[in-house]
Amino acid sequence: MKRILITGAGSYIGTSVEGYLKGQKNYKIDTLDVKNDNWKTYAFFNYDVVFHVAGIAHAETGKLLQGKKKKYYDVNTKLALEVAKKAKSAGVEQFILMSSMIVYGESGKIGCKKVITEDTEPKPSSVYGNSKWLADKGVRELGDKNFKVVVLRPPMIYGKNSKGNYPLLSKLARWVVLFPDINNERSMLYIENLCEFVKLMIDSEEEGIFFPQNKEYVKTSDLVKTIAEKNNHKVHTTKVFNQGIFCVAKCSRRLGKIMNKIFGNMVYEKSMSEYKGIDYQVCNLEQSIERTEGK
């Protein structure tokens, strides 16, 4: 029986992993709210694994006030390190941290490939990315033979009731009739595929850095069409807007960042995401969209 503590009660990922593991044998799951300092008096010695998912999500727009910057570092960096240190001192055997693909910087520009390989050095380009990177490095420094540290650097995570960019794209897909057809590739990760990967990490008593992703790369226009179809809506893709989008991306820094988020490129080289020949991707892309969009 693996005793697992999820720090980040109520979070999308934490709740999803909790539900996924509770549906199977051999796991005892507890969750802990770490929004205030009360967690510091909680006993960690009862657990084999601490899965740390608490954090502030990527929501930067324009310049950040100093207080907002500090909050990113307080929550994403300082809190993660404090939880990891408490886990280690309590004799917890494995610590799993949710890091992010964002440690490699923002998306590649429209028309420019960005493929992350095992030789790619992290180079965060935002306060959010840097706060995740400092936690990523810091918890790994705590690892030893008695305290195994797993760092997960997933791409964009999506699924039913997820937050972030996917639900915005889903809303768009349900009412637009025309959508730009721009060739791009993005790595994504469906929530159930992540849950299965976390299970593998726990069962294998793993340590190290891992890059879980779906088997398929995603083209934004194809994703929009698939989402629309699952909602009984028809979207036509066209290249008529492409030249204008390329011009906007080059001429406007603010709009360019938005265009690059939608139509830019950023993928993990696929072999990085393999794990001992085990198929942890329980859903392919179309199945995952169907489950995400299902009523």
For the segment 78-99, the average pLDDT, to the nearest whole number, is 98
| E strands present in the chain | 2-7, 27-32, 49-52, 94-98, 115-116, 148-152, 156-158, 178-180, 188-190, 208-210, 236-238, 267-268
Residue with tokens 């593998």: 200
Q: Answer whether residue 61 shows pLDDT above 50.
A: no
Q: Answer whether residue 69 shows pLDDT above 50.
A: yes
Establish if 90 belongs to a structural domain: yes
Q: Answer whether residue 12 shows pLDDT above 80.
A: yes
The domain in which residue 103 lies consists of: 2-161+187-214+267-283
Nearest to 221 by CA among 167, 248, 182: 182
- Give the separation between CA 291 and CA 214, rounded to whole angstroms: 15
Establish if 168 belongs to a structural domain: no
Angle separating helix axes 220-230 and 165-173, nearest 10 degrees: 60
Establish if 114 belongs to a structural domain: yes
- 57: part of which helix (H) or strand (E)? none
**Residue 25's pLDDT is what?**
83
Q: Answer whether residue 42 shows pLDDT above 50.
A: yes
Establish if 173 belongs to a structural domain: no
Establish if 11 belongs to a structural domain: yes
Give the tens place of pLDDT for each residue, 93-143. Answer: 999 999 999 999 988 889 889 999 999 999 999 999 999 999 999 999 999
- β-pairing verdict for 2-7 and 27-32: parallel
Establish if 151 belongs to a structural domain: yes
- Give the separation between CA 6 and CA 185, rounded to whole angstroms: 32
Give the tens place of pLDDT for each residue, 171-194. Answer: 999 999 999 999 999 999 999 999
Neighbours of 250 (CB within 10 A): 13
Q: Report the b/e string of 80-94 with b at 16+ CB within 10 A.
A: bbebbebbbeeebeb
Q: Answer whether residue 195 shows pLDDT above 80.
A: yes
**Residue 149's pLDDT is what?**
98
Q: What's the domain count of the chain?
A: 1
For the segment 66-70, the average pLDDT, to the nearest whole number, is 78
For the segment 144-150, the average pLDDT, to the nearest whole number, is 97
For the segment 61-77, the average pLDDT, to the nearest whole number, is 78
- Give the separation between CA 132 and CA 153, rounded to whole angstroms: 10
- What one-letter code names the amino acid at 210? F
CATH classification at residue 9: 3.40.50.720
